């Protein structure tokens, strides 16, 4: 910038000097022309005088000679001045040309440096974005870890309340049976049959927990039969009607991440319907679009104020369902929304891109 500024100043000074010099050149040329005319006149005069001895004195002749000589010298000086000023003007014009080239180069450089500075500044703001997104990723990772811990806590609770309780009862009943065998065989048989029922119930519990963790059939049979089986169980257990529809999904849902995510969405939504909605009917629709696979789960239950979700943070043992669904979908580069109004039912929508990100 300093080079550019100096070059700019020099160009301005040179232009001014050249202008002044140009005026001087004009003036000198004019002076030379004037002197030349005077010279011609004085020569004519001299010729006239020197040829006419009768009319002019010797003094006249000498004066005419001196005048002609003076003009000759003056003209020579003026010509020399003219030559010098033209040389100087040409020199200045050459310097001006150079200064203009320097200025042009310096201005180009300034522009380039500004571009680089802009770029660097832009990059720094991008760095900010990077830091922000790294921060977001960190928060997301922490929430995922938290959600995992919650899931483990839930499984532990279910194992504790279900199979573990049943098993300690089974031991108790087995001990009673042992004693009854010696006293009352009939009673012992009854206890044994109750024990069998207890073990059966316990097995069912364990199977449900395993199924909830990861239905084995999802890998072998695929999404549709596994969902249907899960829904059948749900209908039997709750009496709530569920319609499952597939629209143009055919071969598009082979990706195991999509399959599992859809299953988890349905699972959590049906759990929420059972726990909170008091609904009579649920519609589950899976549709293959150009954007991806869209899942819509709609119930006709009592609905709720969705603003509560952001207002009330999840507490220790519940309230992770919706957060978990959203995070799962967004982690795969999809979009998630939940719409609900008190008394108007609830609709959960998710779109999962076919080409999954972050997998
Ligand atoms: N289908 C629904 N109908 C009515 N209310 C709902 C429905 N789904 C969610 N809610 C409301 O939204 C809240 C948050 O749901 P979310 O699934 O996140 O938590 P939760 O079901 O209470 O606990 P968790 O899923 O962690 O066991 C619920 O407590 C409930 O009040
Ligand atoms: Mg829930």
- The domains found in the chain, sorted by start residue, are 2-125 (1.10.287), 219-359 (3.30.565.10)
Q: Which ligand is nearest to the CA of 151?
A: 1
Instruction: Provide the token pair at 247.
Output: 């629209």
Model-wide pTM > 0.85 = no
Q: Are 85 and 28 in contact (CB under 8 A)?
A: yes
- Answer yes or no: is pLDDT of 258 > 60: yes
**Residues 83, 87, 90, CA angle at the centre, nearest 5°?**
140
Distances (CA, A) of 117 to 105, 110, 112, 113, 126: 18, 10, 9, 6, 14
Of all residues in the chain, what percent are helix, strand and coil, respectively (each to 5)? 75, 10, 15
Report the distance separating Cα 211 and Cα 167, nearest Å. 20
What is the three-class DSSP state of 53? coil
**274: CA distance to ligand 1 center in Å?**
10
Which residues face 283 on adjacent strands?
243, 298
Q: Which ligand is nearest to the CA of 154?
A: 1
Q: How confident is the model at residue 308 (pLDDT cuts 50, 70, 90)?
A: confident
Our mutation pick for probing the ligand 1 site, out of 271, 319, 337, counting the most ligand atoms within 8 A of Cβ, is 319
Ligand 1 near 300 CB (within 6 A)? no
What is the atom index within ligand 1 of the atom nearest the CA of 324?
18
How confident is the model over 147-153, as a mean pLDDT? 82
The pLDDT tens digits of the residues spanning 271-302 come to: 999 999 999 999 999 998 888 899 999 999 99
Distances (CA, A) of 151 to 144, 157, 272, 330, 350: 10, 10, 15, 19, 22
**267: CA distance to ligand 2 center in Å?**
9
- Answer yes or no: is pLDDT of 235 > 80: yes
**287: CA distance to ligand 2 center in Å?**
24
């Amino acid at each position: 910038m300093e080079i550019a500024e100096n070059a700019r100043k020099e160009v301005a000074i040179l232009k001014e000097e050249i202008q002044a010099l140009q005026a001087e050149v004009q003036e000198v040329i004019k002076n030379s022309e004037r002197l030349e005319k005077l010279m011609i006149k004085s020569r004519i005069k001299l010729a006239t005088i020197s040829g006419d001895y009768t009319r002019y004195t010797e003094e006249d002749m000498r004066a005419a000679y001196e005048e002609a000589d003076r003009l000759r010298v003056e003209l020579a000086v003026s010509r020399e001045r003219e030559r010098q000023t033209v040389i100087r003007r040409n020199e200045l014009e050459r310097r001006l040309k150079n200064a203009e080239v320097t200025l042009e180069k310096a201005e180009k450089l300034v522009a380039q440096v500004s571009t680089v500075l802009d770029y660097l500044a832009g990059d720094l703001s991008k760095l900010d974005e990077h830091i922000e997104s790294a921060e977001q990723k960190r928060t997301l990772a922490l929430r995922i870890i938290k959600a995992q811990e919650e899931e483990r806590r839930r499984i532990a609770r279910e194992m504790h309340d279900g199979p573990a309780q049943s098993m300690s009862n089974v031991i108790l009943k087995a001990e009673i049976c042992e004693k009854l065998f010696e006293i009352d065989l009939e009673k012992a048989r009854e206890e044994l049959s109750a024990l069998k029922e207890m073990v059966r119930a316990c097995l069912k519990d364990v199977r449900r927990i395993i199924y909830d963790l990861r239905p084995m059939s999802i890998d072998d049979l695929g999404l549709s039969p596994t969902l249907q089986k899960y829904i059948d169980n749900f209908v039997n257990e709750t009496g709530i009607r569920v319609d499952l529809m597939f629209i143009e999904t055919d071969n598009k849902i082979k990706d195991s991440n999509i399959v599992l995510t859809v299953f988890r969405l349905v699972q959590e939504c049906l759990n929420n319907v059972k726990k909170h909605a008091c609904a009579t009917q649920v519609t589950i629709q899976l549709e293959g679009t150009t954007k991806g696979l869209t899942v819509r789960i709609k119930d006709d239950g009592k609905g709720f104020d969705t603003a509560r979700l952001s207002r009330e943070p999840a507490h220790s043992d519940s309230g992770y369902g919706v957060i978990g669904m959203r995070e799962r979908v967004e982690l795969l580069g999809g979009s998630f929304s939940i719409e609900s109004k008190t008394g108007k039912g609830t609709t959960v929508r998710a779109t999962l891109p076919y080409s999954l990100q972050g997998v």
